[in-house]
Amino acid sequence: KLSRTIHTISVKNTLLQHEVNQLREALVNEQKYRQRGKALLLEAPPEYNGGAVFWSPQKVSDAWLRQEQKDRDNQLVQYQKSMAIRLREEKKAAKAQMFEERHLNRAVAKEKHEREAAEKAAAREEKCIARELKTQLQNDLKVSQRGKRKSLQPSLAAAPPTAAQDPIEVENDAVPTSRSGHAIRRPKCLVT
């Protein structure tokens, strides 16, 4: 039984190989037939009247050479077209990449600019706060020093007015004076 199956398989194998060979030959013949279908580039004689023309082997070989040259020219044109298309696509891709890089560079520059602006604003704000703190400290120091001076000097408001003085003079004495002797007048909006 095993030998029978081996025999049938080998017969099928040889039949298939024979069929494959015949198909290959048919394909080659078809390709040759298609090649034979091309008309040669033969030039008609000047007194051609439509009848049968016999060509010399030299003219036939020249026609074959012209046909080969024409095929090479067509292939060259096709190659140039494909190269032009490829170059266009490469140029387009390079342009898109350059545009993307430019867009990315602009985004990075914008982000850097915004970050620097934020840092400058923060530095300005810190300077402003530091300046305000400095002036506040100076004002607090002046107020504390004034308070010490006032405590060292006898206050005029604490002393009872004497009966010998006029009330107008008492008002003049109550006005504070600066170190140089000028009267210090407080603004009316701050006087309570």
List the chain domain ranges: 1-32
Structure tokens belonging to residue 157: 């408001």
pLDDT value, residue 147: 59
Cα 177 from chain centroid (whole Å): 70
Report residues of the chain scoring pLDDT below 70. 35-38, 147-174, 190-192
27 vs 32: CA distance, rounded Å: 9
Q: Using the structure block, give the residue that is written with the tokens 């990315």.
A: 104
Cα 182 from chain centroid (whole Å): 70
78 vs 88: CA distance, rounded Å: 15
